[in-house]
Structure 1
Amino acid sequence: MSEPHDNPAKSRFELVEQGETAIASYEIDGETITFTHTIVPPALEGQGIASRLIAHALGEARTRALKVRPECSFVAAYIERHPEMQDLLA
């Protein structure tokens, strides 16, 4: 099982599993990170990949003292389901 990582050159967090790459794209403006969309390849759906990816991305936002703007519906739903992450909201 691989670990999620930031790919700042492509402005996205990535998680590679089974030769497929799930991504969470973002834009950073000052002290705010806006998650624009999350994509999980069909072969990886239903395995918790998106949740692992977003949990990591939000942890990185916290470490970097960034506020989060969840334009991506998955990220917004994840934060809603995890009250401990709601303090990150911009």
Structure 2
Amino acid sequence: MSQPSATPTVERVDTRHRYEILVDGKRVGLTAYRDRGEQRVFHHTEVDDAFTGQGLAAQLVHEALTDVRRSSKRIVPVCPYVAKYLIRHEEFNDITDPVTAEVLEWLNAELG
């Protein structure tokens, strides 16, 4: 298991519809989203196997959700990891919308 030698950083990469977490400038994880009006629909989160167990996914999702709040958008947690994170972090309840059949249909069309 790799140990990060630098403080991980999170960047929003709008052109790729995702937030990335970087260690020593290398992308080691991401959480992907699509924007639907005022909603940011999170649909996938992953961290490279070599970096699991270090809390990077939690840091990534926390910073992504904090950015959503700053952007005055709302969270829709289609991604199971984001949904699980939100259960433990109620501070985002006020900006979280439920996953509906309509959202899932829209997301499937967006992702092709």
- TM-score, normalised to structure 2's length? 0.77
Aligned residue type for 1:59 = T
On the 8 A contact 1:69/1:89 being kept in 2, the answer is yes
Equivalenced residue count is: 90
Q: Tell me by how many angstroms 1:53 deviates.
A: 0.3
Pick from 75, 84, 97: which aligns with 1:68?
A: 75
| Gaps in structure 1 of 5+ consecutive residues | none
Distance, in Å, in 2 between the alignment partners of 1:31 and 1:20 is: 27
Q: Tell me by how many angstroms 1:20 deviates.
A: 4.3
| Gaps in structure 2 of 5+ consecutive residues | 1-6, 98-112
Say which one has the larger Rg. Answer: 2
Identity of paired residues, percent? 30
Q: What is aligned with 2:107? A: none
On the 8 A contact 2:8/2:21 being kept in 1, the answer is yes
Q: How does 1:15-54 map to 2 (within 5 A)?
A: 15-17=21-23, 19-54=26-61
On the 8 A contact 1:51/1:78 being kept in 2, the answer is yes
- TM-score, normalised to structure 1's length? 0.94
